[in-house]
Amino acid sequence: MTTRTEEVLQSFRERIGQIKSYEEALGVLYWDMRTGAPRKGLEARSEVVGALSVQLFKLQTAPELGEWLSALEASGSSEQLGEIDRRLIRHTRKEYDRAVKIPEKLHQEYVVLTTQAETLWEDAKENSDYASFQPYLEKIITYQNQFIDLWGPGATRYDTLLDAYEPGMTTAELDRIFGGLREKLVPLAAAIAASPYQPEQSFLKQTYAKEAQKKFSLFILEQMGFDFAAGRLDESAHPFATGLNPGDVRITTRYLEDDVMSALFGTIHEGGHALYEQNIMKELIGTTLCTGTSMGIHESQSRFWENVIGRSRPFWNRYYGDLQQMFPGQLNVSVDDFYRATNVVQPSLIRIEADELTYNLHIIIRYEMEKLIFNEGAKAADLPGLWNEKYKEYLGVTPENDGVGVLQDVHWSGGAFGYFPSYSLGNMYAAQMTAQMEKELPNMWELVEKGNLLPLKEWLTDKVYKYGMLRTPSEIITDITGNPLEPEHLVTYLERKYKDIYKL
Amino acid sequence: MTTRTEEVLQSFRERIGQIKSYEEALGVLYWDMRTGAPRKGLEARSEVVGALSVQLFKLQTAPELGEWLSALEASGSSEQLGEIDRRLIRHTRKEYDRAVKIPEKLHQEYVVLTTQAETLWEDAKENSDYASFQPYLEKIITYQNQFIDLWGPGATRYDTLLDAYEPGMTTAELDRIFGGLREKLVPLAAAIAASPYQPEQSFLKQTYAKEAQKKFSLFILEQMGFDFAAGRLDESAHPFATGLNPGDVRITTRYLEDDVMSALFGTIHEGGHALYEQNIMKELIGTTLCTGTSMGIHESQSRFWENVIGRSRPFWNRYYGDLQQMFPGQLNVSVDDFYRATNVVQPSLIRIEADELTYNLHIIIRYEMEKLIFNEGAKAADLPGLWNEKYKEYLGVTPENDGVGVLQDVHWSGGAFGYFPSYSLGNMYAAQMTAQMEKELPNMWELVEKGNLLPLKEWLTDKVYKYGMLRTPSEIITDITGNPLEPEHLVTYLERKYKDIYKL
């Protein structure tokens, strides 16, 4: 490597370190705002977030960064670079090209628009008033279409948006995957609904003391191998996980006193995200590769821990006794009845409250609508009607109003088109990884039944977590299973589980 | 005002806003590190703090800022500027000149040195090992002397350091003030020690449940008018207050289960700092004038609330019953005995554990030693001997080792020479303000006895808090009392209080 290349590499690495520092600082500020920052300070705090965001954008889009990237790409020294530098250059090039293609003025207008729209959406949802939100949504769609033109459309226009959340994912691939899924899940959901056996779950809705819920949540996190010297659990209105660095990964939950499972499953879900972020290899710390490789793979980990493990029979064979002790006299049903009660399938209107099976149908609806918007030119005005038709068709339910219909999710108000598929991709990745884990850890379910969850965490660390962004999503799933993502594993998993529970 | 001046003013104000934003972001990061950030993330976090600090220093010392200041100073438009802009220009000029006079390389070396020294000091204190710390302290003194040369010495070399913490304060003035104080306090302390009446205080040292302590601390904060929508109380090893902006002022305390008063007085102390920061006028938000005007005035507020009010007889006449109820069966003495017990005077080795009276002697010792270092050339090697001599002379005690002697404070390891006098200045400002408050609120002590503390807060808001840095310390005290700072008020206050308690 020439001295000049070494100097450029040094400058490039320093810049990456600065970018990562600003991202981490902003991460702390966001965490703070959501977990307990005093209300009256938030207006001034938004100035602080603004100042750091502007500087971050400058660091990410500065002409010298483009020059360094070109020099490193052209130096012919690619073979001499280590894997981390090579991936870092490739990743930064992609982000850089995306960012610099948007004129600064357009970017700023868009930030103002989505900030307003998110606030407006809250009121619109509250009042089921789609009309007030519609013009904003229409504008956001117009901006997104401009971005697609600037970035350059993929095989379809919607592909360009998908790529931001799940690198390499395409509409063609999702059509195949979601097509297979829909075909199997719709009849399965119908069979479940028709089953004469329906689990009793009213006992889950007593008053369960918050302190005991918290204690049990912390206990389960510890059982999963969450490192409390490298993370913490707090409370917030909307649970989330944030990986500031692998030594500081924070999750939140929300305790509902009338629901014993809500906070716990929320904690396990965010705990899955946290295990991923806590176990990224040291070598990536301080680089922008030090995070999960995609939204889909990230979601596979939250859902693996929440659903595959946390809603499994072996898990409750081990932990139900502990839960009973935590709430003396309140949980008098058998472990089997408890297990069934936590796995009720019920078509419903609200995605975030949906069960493991119908959840995917909620996602497929959003995916199909986003395709209609960007590939078929559907307008904001068309969306409530399309929404209600699809809910009727796939789930057999119809929203009473748009607040529990097309307005239920925050995503579109922030312009996050292309994000929703990640949730179902997560379920599919998780099922496919589980099938492989069952082969490689043949006593996997015995381990769970004994409360020995650490070997599962170690297996995932070795196959997924440690790599951070050093592997792409498709490399991850292919390296683990020898195959690309296939929806059959999720179908098999759900069929096996629910045929047993519903005695089909 | 010319268009050009208006443009410059606009650029100047924007820069001030950026500087303030970085200060607030760093404030959140420091608060987070001290109140619960996971241990394993701190190493990466220090990189984040470093990146923001470097950028802050750049914003503060950029040549264009100097040009804007010169243009605004020379524009002849000073009369057309509002008071806030005029003060902001004067304040920024002072900070700017101080900062740019230190070459960047020297500054960086110094930051590295003091960072190492602070870590080293912790071990040295723990092991009473002054020898290991001495070379670092000697180097820090050498750097400070270089800074004095670069900044330009005042009437004495030490004056230059004082000015950073208490603008306008001089050695001549402190000699006068501390001289008067020492002359009166040494004999008063001796008379107290010789009194046949000594309060009984062993009952304060039972086991007092932490949760009840916390509840009572929050209750008293609320009584003081602390706004919980604009602040919060947390725990940390070393209590502190941080005003991020007037809508977000955070304080911490530390609960000791074997000491019922420690956390409470700590909370009231930090609460006093917080009332100052919460009540700065809105117009200063987002500017660097939006904080206390000096360390001394800030400390006057923590000490007014902690000592003048919190250790007063009327205060406990009102609140002792509540405290007794908080700890059923544990506080069986009379309110008078309780009041005396919380006001025991006892010469001791450790500053931060000292009573209201002897505390000032601890400060005078440090002040005299700092003068010896910078005005008389005393060396690091001389300090333990000097320290022990002065403790013998002023307090009649001798440290068993340097851990409880010259190594007890963190300040010098961070290069904070000139800071200590602020603590006693705070006591004196507080006493002088109290004397005036008694005149202007003639029923002041009745209000306290009734638990009606808000008029006191309002008075201080009107005279001190709202101005932030818009008034200098000497303007503040002169505007309130018609006189400059005079130590007599503190002497009178202490004599009146302790002659009663110790029946002298």
The mean pLDDT value for A164-192 works out to 94
Q: What is the CA radius of gyration of chain B?
A: 23
Q: Examine residue A119 and state whether it is found in any structural domain, yes or no.
A: no
Q: Establish if A79 touches chain B: CB-CB under 8 angstroms.
A: no
Length of chain B (residues) = 504
DSSP B469: G
Using alpha carbons only, what angle is made at residue A365 by residues A364 and A370, rounded to the nearest 5 degrees? 95
Sheet of B241-245, strands arranged across: B231-235, B248-253, B241-245
**Amino acid present at A385:** G
Beta partners for residue A243, in sequence order: A249
CATH number at residue B158: 1.10.1370.30
On chain B, the residues whose CB falls within 8 A of the CB of A286 are 44, 47
pLDDT band at A275 (very low <50, low <70, confident <90, very high): very high
Which two structure tokens, joined as six digits, stand for A6? Answer: 């070494």
Question: Which residue on chain B is closest to A23 by alpha carbon?
Answer: B48
Task: Note whether A40 contacts B248, CB cutoff 8 Å.
Answer: yes
- Specify whether B404 is located in the same domain as B451: yes
pLDDT band at residue A77 under the 50/70/90 scheme: low
pLDDT score of A1: 76
pLDDT digits (tens, 9 = 90+) for A204-238: 989 999 999 999 999 999 999 999 999 999 999 88
Q: Report the number of distinct structural domains present in chain B.
A: 2
Q: Does B230 touch chain A (CB under 8 A)?
A: yes
Angle B296-B299-B305 (CA atoms, 0-180°, nearest 5)? 145
- Tell whether A161 is covered by a domain: no
Retrieve residue A454's tokens: 């650490």
Residues B226 and B177 reside in one and the same domain: yes
In a domain, A443, yes or no: no
Distance CA B504, CA B491 (A): 15
Kindly identify which residue of chain A lies nearest to residue B21, measuring between CA atoms: A48
Cα diameter, chain A: 75
pLDDT in tens, chain B (504 residues): 788 899 999 999 999 999 999 999 999 999 999 999 999 999 899 999 999 999 999 999 999 999 999 999 987 666 789 999 999 999 999 999 999 999 989 998 998 899 899 889 999 999 999 999 999 999 999 999 999 999 998 999 999 999 999 999 999 999 999 999 999 999 999 999 999 999 999 999 899 999 999 999 999 999 999 999 999 999 998 899 999 999 999 999 999 999 999 999 999 999 999 999 999 999 999 999 999 999 999 999 999 999 999 999 999 999 999 999 999 999 999 999 999 999 999 999 999 999 999 999 999 999 999 999 999 999 999 999 999 999 999 999 999 999 999 999 999 999 999 999 999 999 999 999 999 999 999 999 999 999 999 999 999 999 999 999 999 999 999 999 999 999 999 999 999 999 999 999
Instruction: Tell me whether residues A45 and B245 touch, CB distance under 8 A.
Output: yes
Q: Which residues of B186-210 are buried (b: 16+ CB within 10 A; e: fewer)?
A: bebbeebeeeeeebebeebeeebee
Q: What's the length of chain A?
A: 504
Domain assignment of residue B106, given as a range: 3-143
Phi, psi of A233 (to 5 degrees): -115, 125
B221 CB neighbours in chain A (<8 A) are: none
Q: Do B232 and B321 fall into the same domain?
A: yes
3-state helix, strand, coil in chain A (%, to 5): 70, 5, 25
| Residue A59 belongs to a domain | yes
Across the interface, whether the CB atoms of A47 and B230 are under 8 A apart is answered: no
Q: Could you tell me if B14 and B74 lie in one domain? A: yes
Look at the alpha carbons of A461, A465, A471, A476 in this order and tell me if their dihedral is positive or negative.
positive
Inspect the interface and report whether the beta carbons of A42 and B285 lie closer than 8 Å. no
Q: Does A135 touch chain B (CB under 8 A)?
A: no
Among residues B95, B116, B143, the one where a domain terminates is B143
Residue A235, beta-bridge partner list: A253
User: Of B306, B286, B303, whose CA–CA distance to B295 is shortest?
Assistant: B303
DSSP string, B333-351: S-HHHHHHHTT-----S-G
**Tens of pLDDT along B57-102?**
999 999 999 999 999 998 766 678 999 999 999 999 999 999 999 9
Q: Residue A3's pLDDT band (boundaries 50, 70, 90)?
A: confident
Question: A181: closest CA among A480, A383, A429?
Answer: A429
To the nearest whole Å, the CA of B211 is away from the closest chain A CA by 14
User: Which residues of chain B neighbour A52 with C-beta distances below 8 Å?
Assistant: 21, 25, 52
Q: Is residue A65 part of a domain?
A: yes
Q: Is residue A30 part of a domain?
A: yes
Closest approach of B130 to chain A, Cα-based (Å): 32
Q: What is the pLDDT of residues A10-43, one digit of tens each?
A: 999 999 999 999 999 999 999 999 999 999 999 8
Q: Which of A166, A173, A270, A277 is catalytic?
A: A270
Taking an 8 Å cut-off on Cβ atoms, the answer to whether B24 and A248 are in contact is no
Together in a domain, B304 and B270: yes
Q: In whole angstroms, give the CA distance from residue A122 to residue A108.
A: 22
Tell me if residue B446 is catalytic. Answer: no
Instruction: Report if residue A27 sits inside a domain.
Output: yes
Give the distance from residue B121's alpha carbon to the nearest chain A alpha carbon, in angstroms: 25
DSSP assignment string, B140-160? HHHHHHHHHHHH---SSHHHH
Q: Residue A79: its pLDDT value, please?
A: 74
Sheet holding A231-235, edge to edge: A231-235, A248-253, A241-245
Return all residues near A479 (Cβ < 8 A) that are at least 6 apart. A463, A471
Treating both helix axes as pointing N-terminal to C-terminal, what angle do A63-74 and A42-61 enclose, rounded to 10 degrees? Answer: 40
Instruction: Judge residue B433's burial from the number of C-beta atoms within 10 Å of its C-beta, 0-12 exposed, 13-18 middle, 19 or more buried.
Output: buried
From B114, B143, B172, give the residue that closes a domain: B143
| B330 CA: distance to closest CA in chain A (Å) | 27
Compute the distance between CA of residue B375 and CA of residue B382 in angstroms, rounded to an integer. 14
The pLDDT value given to residue B458:
98
CA angle A111, A115, A119 (to 5 degrees): 165
Of residues A153 and B501, more confidence is placed in: B501
State the amino acid at position A165 in one-letter form. Answer: Y
The two counts, helices (H) then strands (E), for chain B are 20, 3
pLDDT higher than 90, residue A252: yes
Widest Cα–Cα separation across chain B: 75
For residue A18, give the chain B residue with the closest CA. B51
Q: For A41, which of B18, B52, B248 is closest by C-beta distance?
A: B248
B121: nearest Cα among B129, B240, B383:
B129
Distance to chain A for B22, nearest Cα, Å: 7
Same domain, B130 and B213: no
A 26-55 residues inside an 8 A Cβ radius of B? 28-29, 32, 36-45, 47-48, 50-52, 55
Give me the mean pLDDT over the A365-378 stretch: 98
Give the distance from residue A283's alpha carbon to the nearest chain B alpha carbon, in angstroms: 12
Instruction: Spell A458-479 as b/e; 16+ CB within 10 A means b.
Output: ebbbebbbbbbbbbbbbebbee
C-beta separation of A2 from A77 below 8 A:
yes
Which of B110, B143, B176 is at the close of a domain?
B143
Query: Are residue B62 and residue B168 in the same domain, yes or no?
Result: no
> Average pLDDT over chain A, rounded to whole?
95
Say yes or no to pLDDT of A143 above 90.
yes
Catalytic residue selected from B23, B166, B270, B370: B270
Angle (deg, nearest 10), helices B313-326 and B210-224: 140
Alpha carbon distance A314, B284 (integer Å): 60
CA–CA separation, A458 vs A404, rounded Å?
A: 40
A68 in Cβ contact with A12 (< 8 Å): yes
A112-140 per-position pLDDT tens digit: 899 899 889 999 999 999 999 999 999 99
In chain B, residues 273-292 whose CB comes closer than 8 Å to chain A? 285-286
Mutate: best of B33, B248, B285, B287, partner A, most A CBs <10 A: B248
Q: Distance (Å, rounded) from C-alpha B418 to C-alpha B301?
A: 20
d(CA B153, CA B155): 7
Say if A87 falls within a structural domain.
Answer: yes
The answer to whether the beta carbons of residues A181 and A360 sit under 8 Å apart is: yes
B174 and B320 inside one domain:
yes
Pair B14, B163 in one domain: no
- Alpha helices by DSSP H, listed for B75-195, are 83-100, 104-126, 130-151, 157-165, 171-194
For residue B294, give every residue at least 6 positions away whose Cβ sits within 8 Å of its Cβ, in sequence order, or none: B165, B166, B167, B422, B472, B473
Instruction: For residues B292 and B369, state if they share a domain.
Output: yes
Kindly state whether residues B69 and B14 are assigned to the same domain.
Answer: yes
Instruction: Tell whether B38 and B24 lie within a shared domain.
Output: yes
Beta bridge mates, B231: B249
Residues forming a β-bridge with B249: B231, B243
CA atoms within 13 A on the CB side of A385: 6
Task: Tell me the two tokens of residue A314.
Answer: 């072996």
Kindly state the average pLDDT of the residues A396-418.
96
